[in-house]
Structure 1
Amino acid sequence: MLPTPCHILGDVHLGVASAESERRLLRHVRALPGQARSLIIMGDLFDFWFAWRHVMPRTGFRVLAALADLADQEIPVLWIGGNHDCWGGEALQAETGAQYTLEPWRGLIGPWDALLAHGDGLREVEDAPYRRLRSVLRHPWSIAAYSWLHPDFASRLAHASSKTSRKGRARDGGAGLQAVGTAALASTDGPRLTVHGHSHVPTLVRAGHGIYANAGAWYLDHQYLRLEDDRASRMQAHGDGTVSLIEQLERPH
C-alpha cells in the first residue's frame, strides 16, 4: 500500500523537455517530503533510457539523485515504466530505490483501490501494430543487440525514431485510453480509480463506479495529480514555485 497524500506525475520526457521544465520538476520532487508521503511516476520520465552494463545516460541525473533522496527519507516511489523508459528497470531501481514495473499495478493508495498503467498498447484495435513492434523491441535478443551499440550513437538513433510517440497530445484526445479505463471501472470487481499516462491529455472525471485520471505530460503543462484519503485533485506547478488547483473530485464510496 502507498500512503497518502500521494503525488502522481506523468510523461516528463527528460532529454527533450526544456531546462525550465526540468527545474520545476526538481523543485517539486525536492519539496515532496513536506507535501506528500508517496510519489508515482506514470512512465516516460525520460524521452530515452537504456541501461548499459558500465555506463548510464547523463540526461536527468539530478532528477534520479532527487528520487534517491526520497528513498533515503523513506518516501516510497512507484515507477510505472513507459514506452520511452522501458529498458533498464533493474538499474533504475538500484540507483533510485524506486519500485519499478512494466506491468499494470493494482493496489491501495491510502483507501483508494487503484489500477495504474502507462497506457501504451492498451487500445484493442488502434494499438495492435504497436503491440507487435513492442514484442520485438523488448525481446531479450533485441536488448542484447542494442547494448552493443555505442551509447552516443544509440541515443541519437532512439531520439530520432521516437519523435512521433512524444509529439503533443493523442490524436483522439485521450478518448481511447479513457474508454479502457472506464471499462475497468465499470466491472464489478474492478478498481475505483484508474490512472494512465501516455496520451498527454490531463484528465480527472467520474467514470464507471469510480474515477478515471491522467496526469497529462509534465513537459507540456506541468500538471500532476494529488490523492488524499477523501479526494483526487488535478494541480499545476508554476515557475515561481507555487501550485494551483485546477479541479477536484471527492472519492466515491
Structure 2
Amino acid sequence: MLPTPCHVIGDVHLGVASAESERRLLRHLRALPDQARSLIIMGDLFDFWFAWRHVMPRTGFRVLAALADLAEQQIPVVWIGGNHDCWGGEALRAETGAHYTLEPWRGLIGPWDALRPHGDGLREVEDAPYRRLRRVLRHPWSIAAYSWLHPDFATRLAHASSKTSRKGRARDGGAGLLAVGTAALSSAGGPRLAVHGHSHVPTLVPAGHGIYANAGAWYLDHQYLRLEDDRIARMQTHDDGTASTVVQLERPR
C-alpha cells in the first residue's frame, strides 16, 4: 500500500521538455517530502531511455538524483514504464530505488483501490498495430541488438522515430483511454480509481463505479494529481513554485 498524500505525475518527456519544465519538476520533487508521502510516475519520464551495460544517458541526471533522494528519505516511488522509457528497468531501479514496472499496477493508495497502467496499447482497435510493434521492440533479441549501437547514434535514432507519439495530445482527446478506464471501473471486482498517462490529456471525472484520472503531460501542462484519503485533486503548478486546485472530487463511498 502506498501512503497518502500521494502525488501522481506523468509524461514529462525529459530530452524534449524545456529546461524550465525540468526545473519545475526538480523543484516539485525536492519539495515533495514536505507535501506528500509517496509518488507515482505514470510513464514516459524520459522521451528516450536505454540502459547500456556501462553507460547511461545524461538526460535527466538531476531528476534521477532527486528520485534517489526521495528513496533515501523513505518516500516510496512507483514508476510505471511507458512506451518511451521501457528499456532499462533494472538500471532505473538500482539507481533511484523506485519500484519500476512495465506491468499495470493495481493496489491501494491509502484507502483507494487503484489501477494504473501507462495507457499505451489499451485501445482495442486503434492500438492493434502498435501492440504488434511493441512485442518486437521489447523482445530480448531486439533489445540486445540495439545495445550494440553507439549511444549517441541510438539516441538520435530514437528521438527521430518517436516524434508522432509525443506530439501534443491524443487525437481523440483522450476519449479512448477514458472508455478503457470506464470499462474497468464498471466491471465486477473492478477498481474504484483508474489512472492513465499516455494521452497527454489532463482529466479527472466520475466514471463507472469510481473515478477516472489522468495527470496529463508535465512538459505541456505542469499538472499533477494529489490523492488524499477522502479526495483526489488535479493540481496546477505555477512559476513561483505554488500550486492551485483545478478540480477536486470526493472519494466514492
If the length of structure 1 is used for normalisation, what is the TM-score?
A: 1.00
Letter matched to residue 54 of structure 1 = H
Once residues 162 and 105 of structure 2 are traced to their aligned partners in structure 1, the CA distance between those partners, rounded to angstroms, is 25
Per the alignment, residue 63 of structure 1 pairs with: 63
Q: Distance in 2 between matches of 1:235 and 1:163?
A: 27
Q: How big is each residue's C-alpha offset from its partner over 1:59-117, in whole Å with a ceiling of 9 and x where there is no partner?
A: 00000000000000000000000000000001000000000000001100000000000
Taking the aligned partners of 2:42 and 2:242, their CA distance within structure 1 comes to 22
Deviation track 1:38-66 (CA, whole Å, cap 9, x = no partner) reads: 00000000000000000000000000000
Task: Report the Cα offset of residue 239 of structure 1.
Answer: 1.3
> What is the distance in 2 between the residues matched to 1:100 and 1:71?
13
2:79 paired residue number: 79
Match of 2:27 in 1: 27
Determine if the alignment matches structure 1 residue 174 to structure 2 residue 185.
Answer: no
Match of 2:52 in 1: 52
Extract unaligned runs of 5+ from structure 2: none
Question: 2:65, 2:154 → 1: CA distance?
Answer: 24
Correspondence 1:161 to 2:149: no
CA-based RMSD: 0.3
Query: What residue in structure 2 maps to residue 16 of structure 1?
Result: 16
Name the SS for the 1:165 alignment partner. Answer: helix
Corresponding residue number in structure 2 for 1:247: 247
User: What residue in structure 1 maps to residue 226 of structure 2?
Assistant: 226
Q: Which runs of 4+ in 1 moved over 2 A?
A: none
Amino acid corresponding to residue 198 of structure 2 in structure 1 = H
- SS in structure 2 at match of 1:164: helix
SS at match of 2:144: helix
Corresponding position of 1:189 = 189
Which residue number corresponds to residue 124 of structure 1?
A: 124
Q: Which runs of 5+ in 1 are unaligned?
A: none
Residue identity (%)? 89
- Deviation track 1:6-62 (CA, whole Å, cap 9, x = no partner) reads 000000000000000000000000000000000000000000000000000000000
Q: Distance in 2 between matches of 1:240 and 1:101?
A: 33
2:94 corresponds to 1:97: no
* 1:211 corresponding residue in structure 2: 211
Q: Find the aligned partners of 1:192 and 1:214 in 2 and give their Cα distance.
A: 14
Alignment partners' CA distance in 1, 2:236 and 2:138: 34
Q: How many residues align?
A: 253
With structure 2 as the length reference, what TM-score do the two structures score? 1.00
